[in-house]
């Protein structure tokens, strides 16, 4: 039995304006094992973020079961923490207060919480910026604070929603390498969402490829590259092979959706 | 209503003192001084120019002093009132009306605004009343309020409360509803309870709106003080102006108006300082005239 088990998760939205039911997730089943780094990649609009928010407990699925260590979960809990796509740091709090926010929500006094989170600030390399406000940080530093905020509640399962999507290419690569460092130190189980294939291959033990809408897992690719990894690995032939393999699956998915979207549009026009 | 609504105190933000034209680095002393104090120099010279023209026009008989008074006559009237000491009582009464009315409007307005912005049922219950009362010209209620309260302190405080209350309430309500979904999601994700969400997300997000509401409310409250005193009073700056006007003492009436302006500016500036004090977490923007920078 894995750390996280998702069994037949389905999500359907009703769009009242056009009286249309949108099937966002058809049936997602997956297992993430203890200590594993698993990525989900897929074309945009395939329901990756929806799935991650379901695991975090922010959204209730219309179907299916989620088990964490064999126990059913249906709401946010201490053993999970979400790293948001936009850093979503509160602009009215300093960096340290933001990082301590999860602890504060658990009832730890704000001043005590701020003392406890110092190691995580150091871990993500934000020492010296504790009293800055988010607007004074670069995009990469904001994402580090976002990561530290999630790590600070000491979750067993770390959920990451395209955390590097808004960063420039260089910062992104450096952040990937840093994330692996942090992951090795913190020893967490990670479920990582991205549409960036090389990122997924570089970071993960396994890459789950999602099909286009309605979302479902169409392939489970084991990444048998040695660890620790550094950025030079991205030029390794086997790395490129894996990347190509996944890329091929996604391209066929994207082509299929574009075709079916066109068909739907044509039907709607009639 | 947005935070950028029409505001008498927001004519122009102070210019950024740190940014000066590089070409001035080697300029002569007086040009450098002029560039640094441009606003002061231009502002003062316009002011002094108008006063001089006014004084000259009265003395030359171009306008009639009995209707328009003159700067020196106004200073004279001010001197008389201050040395007689009666002005302090008028100022004190007006201030009392302002403080009582505005503070009660602020406290209640913030509470009602938070409740109506936060809770769906309270919102449905309260918002038609708030919208209707805000849209009604409050001055129309003065005859009724006078009947209820008489021409004492109570009537004026209630009127000041009424005009200030809705600015505070509506701005607070809008501010509470402006809390971004992504921040609320963060709070929920970390398991924050309702009270924690209110304290750590909703109120900080609403604070700039609340402060704007207070500043607008303060401006309206000060107008409310004068309006209520013009209608019926036996003390206060508005009453003093009314009395002086009826006795054709233009200098004294004009002095009253100058006093109102000065207090209006002081109130606005105080509120602005409060706002700035709470605004440390936002990047400072410098808005102001664009040409001639």
pLDDT digits (tens, 9 = 90+) for A167-219: 888 889 999 999 999 899 888 999 999 989 999 999 999 999 998 878 889 99
Assigned token pair, B278 = 């709470």
Nearest residue to B69 via CA among B262, B248, B261: B248
Q: How confident is the model at residue B8 (pLDDT cuts 50, 70, 90)?
A: very low
pLDDT of residue A101: 96
Q: Is the pLDDT of residue B50 over 80?
A: yes
C-alpha–C-alpha distance, residues A84 and A159, integer Å: 9
Taking CB atoms and an 8 Å cutoff, what residues of chain B touch A57?
Answer: 189
Q: What distance in Å separates residue B19's CA from the closest CA in chain A?
A: 20
Nearest residue to B123 via CA among B132, B115, B131: B115
- As a whole number, mean pLDDT of residues B53-76 equals 91
C-alpha–C-alpha distance, residues B279 and B19, integer Å: 21
Strand A157-161 with A189-194, pairing: parallel
A92 touches B at CB < 8 Å: yes
Tens of pLDDT, residue by residue over A3-14, are 999 999 999 988
C-alpha–C-alpha distance, residues A51 and A33, integer Å: 17
B190 touches A at CB < 8 Å: yes
- Range with lowest mean pLDDT among B34-48, B100-114, B174-188: B34-48
Q: How confident is the model at residue B191 (pLDDT cuts 50, 70, 90)?
A: very high
Number of residues written out for chain B: 293
Tens of pLDDT, residue by residue over B158-189, are 999 999 999 999 999 999 999 999 999 999 99
pLDDT of residue B4: 41
Inter-CA distances, B27 with A123, A152, B32, B42, Å: 51, 55, 6, 20
Cβ separation B189–A82 shorter than 8 A: yes
Nearest residue to A152 via CA among A218, A89, A233, A242: A89
Q: What distance in Å separates residue A152's CA from the closest CA in chain B?
A: 11
User: A191 forms bridges with which residues in the sheet?
Assistant: A38, A159
A131 touches B at CB < 8 Å: no
Number of residues written out for chain A: 270
Q: Is the pLDDT of residue B11 over 80?
A: no
- Cis peptide bond prior to A120, omega within 30° of 0: no
Task: Give the containing element (helix H, strand E) for B50.
Answer: helix B38-59
Inter-CA distances, A80 with A86, A108, A155, Å: 18, 18, 5
Q: How confident is the model at residue B287 (pLDDT cuts 50, 70, 90)?
A: low
pLDDT of residue A253: 81
DSSP state of B18: T
Q: Identify the residue with better confidence: B128 or A18.
A: B128
Q: How confident is the model at residue B23 (pLDDT cuts 50, 70, 90)?
A: low
Residue B70 neighbours by CB distance under 10 Å? 20
Contact criterion met (CB below 8 Å) for B201 and A101: no
Cβ separation B281–A133 shorter than 8 A: yes
CA dihedral B271, B273, B275, B279 (to 10 degrees): 180
A88 touches B at CB < 8 Å: yes
Strand A71-72 with A80-83, pairing: unpaired
Tens of pLDDT, residue by residue over A31-51, are 999 999 999 998 877 889 999
A69 touches B at CB < 8 Å: no
User: B6 forms bridges with which residues in the sheet?
Assistant: none
Query: Across all residues in chain B, what is the average pLDDT?
Result: 87
Q: What is the pTM of this model?
A: 0.81
pLDDT of residue B288: 60
Assigned token pair, A119 = 């190691």
- Tell me the percentage of chain B whose pLDDT exceeds 90: 69
Taking CB atoms and an 8 Å cutoff, what residues of chain B touch A92?
Answer: 204-205, 207, 281
pLDDT of residue B6: 43
Cβ separation A76–B190 shorter than 8 A: yes
ipTM attached to this prediction: 0.88
Taking CB atoms and an 8 Å cutoff, what residues of chain B touch A105?
Answer: 187, 190-193, 196
Assigned token pair, A240 = 């490129």
Assigned token pair, A187 = 């020893």
Q: Is the pLDDT of residue B293 over 50?
A: no
- As a whole number, mean pLDDT of residues A231-250 equals 93
Tens of pLDDT, residue by residue over A52-98, are 999 999 999 999 999 999 999 989 999 999 999 998 999 999 999 99
Nearest-CB residue to B281 (from A82, A88, A91): A91
C-alpha–C-alpha distance, residues B89 and B147, integer Å: 25
Query: Across all residues in chain A, what is the average pLDDT?
Result: 90
Q: What distance in Å separates residue B285's CA from the closest CA in chain A?
A: 13
Question: Helices B237-246 and B203-231: crossing angle, nearest 10°?
Answer: 30
pLDDT of residue B1: 36
pLDDT of residue A189: 95
Closest residue in A to B195 (Cα–Cα):
A105
pLDDT of residue B282: 77
Assigned token pair, B169 = 């309430």
Closest residue in A to B196 (Cα–Cα):
A105
């Amino acid at each position: 039995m894995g750390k996280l088990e998702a069994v037949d998760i389905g999500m359907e939205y009703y769009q009242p304006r056009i009286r249309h039911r949108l099937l966002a997730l058809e049936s997602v089943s997956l297992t993430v094992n203890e200590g594993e780094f698993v990525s989900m990649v897929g074309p945009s609009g395939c329901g990756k973020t929806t799935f991650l928010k379901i695991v975090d407990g922010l959204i209730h699925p219309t179907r299916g079961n989620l088990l964490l260590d064999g126990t059913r979960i249906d709401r946010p809990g201490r053993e999970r923490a979400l790293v948001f796509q936009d850093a979503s740091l509160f602009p009215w709090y300093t960096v340290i207060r933001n990082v301590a926010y999860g602890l504060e929500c658990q009832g730890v006094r704000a001043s005590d919480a701020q003392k406890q989170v110092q190691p995580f600030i150091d871990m993500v390399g934000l020492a010296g910026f504790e009293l800055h406000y988010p607007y004074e940080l670069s995009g990469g530093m904001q994402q580090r604070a976002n990561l530290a905020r999630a790590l600070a509640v000491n979750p067993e399962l770390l959920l990451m929603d395209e955390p590097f999507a808004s960063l420039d290419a260089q910062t992104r690569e450096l952040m990937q390498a840093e994330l692996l460092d942090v992951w090795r130190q913190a020893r967490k189980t990670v479920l990582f969402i991205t549409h960036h294939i090389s990122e997924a291959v570089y970071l993960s033990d396994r890459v789950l490829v999602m099909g286009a809408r309605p979302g479902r897992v169409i392939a489970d690719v084991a990444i048998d590259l040695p660890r620790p990894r550094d950025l030079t690995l991205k030029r390794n032939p086997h790395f490129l092979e894996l990347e190509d393999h996944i890329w091929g699956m996604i391209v066929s998915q994207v082509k299929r959706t574009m075709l079916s979207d066109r068909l739907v549009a044509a039907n709607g026009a009639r | 209503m947005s935070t950028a609504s029409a505001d008498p105190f927001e004519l122009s933000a102070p210019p950024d003192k740190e940014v000066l034209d590089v070409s001035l680095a080697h300029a002569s002393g007086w040009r450098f001084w002029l560039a640094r104090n441009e606003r002061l120099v231009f502002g003062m010279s316009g002011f002094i120019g108008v006063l001089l023209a006014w004084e000259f026009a009265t003395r030359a008989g171009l306008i009639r002093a009995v209707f328009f008074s003159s700067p020196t006559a106004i200073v004279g009237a001010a001197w008389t009132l201050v040395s007689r000491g009666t002005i302090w009582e008028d100022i004190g009464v007006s201030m009392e009306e302002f403080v009582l009315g505005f503070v009660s409007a602020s406290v209640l307005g913030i509470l009602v605004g938070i409740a109506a912005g936060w809770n769906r049922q309270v919102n449905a219950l309260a918002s038609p009343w708030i919208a209707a009362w805000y849209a009604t010209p409050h001055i129309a209620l003065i005859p009724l309020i006078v009947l209820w309260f008489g021409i004492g302190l109570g009537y004026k405080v209630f009127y000041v409360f009424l005009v200030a209350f809705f600015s505070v309430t509506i701005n607070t309500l809008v501010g509470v509803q402006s809390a971004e979904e992504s921040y609320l999601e963060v709070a929920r994700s970390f398991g924050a309870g309702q009270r924690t969400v209110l304290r750590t997300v909703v109120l900080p997000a609403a604070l700039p709106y609340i402060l704007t509401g207070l500043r607008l409310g303060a401006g309206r409250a000060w107008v409310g003080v004068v309006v209520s005193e013009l209608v019926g009073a036996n003390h206060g700056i508005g009453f003093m102006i009314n009395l002086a006007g009826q006795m054709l003492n233009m200098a004294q009436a004009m002095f009253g108006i100058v006093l109102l302006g000065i207090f209006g500016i002081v109130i606005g500036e105080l509120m602005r300082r409060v706002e700035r004090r709470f605004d440390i977490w936002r990047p400072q923007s410098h808005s102001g005239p664009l040409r001639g920078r």
